[in-house]
Amino acid sequence: MGKFDAGVPNAGIYKMYDASDDVVCYILMPDLPVTKKIPQGVMYEGNSIGAISCLKVRVHVVPISGR
C-alpha cells in the first residue's frame, strides 16, 4: 500500500494490507534484497534490519435502533 522513510540508508517501512483478515502490517526491511549466485540458482543473504507490526483496522459498528 505504501512506503515510508525508515531513517536509515537503503531501508524503508512498507505498509501491507491483508483484506481477508482486515489487518495492516508495517514492515521495516531493506529496499533491495542481497543475493548471491550459487550452483542451484540464487540465494538470499541475511540482513541486520527488520521488524513487523500488525493491527486490525476495521471495526464493525452495530447501529443503535430507535433513533
User: Over the stretch 16-56, which tens digit does the pLDDT of each residue have?
Assistant: 988 888 899 999 988 888 888 999 999 988 777 889 999 99
State residue 14's pLDDT score: 93
pTM for the model stands at: 0.65
Confidence class for position 61, pLDDT limits 50, 70, 90: low
Confidence class for position 67, pLDDT limits 50, 70, 90: low
HSE (side-chain half, CA atoms, 13 Å) at 46:
1
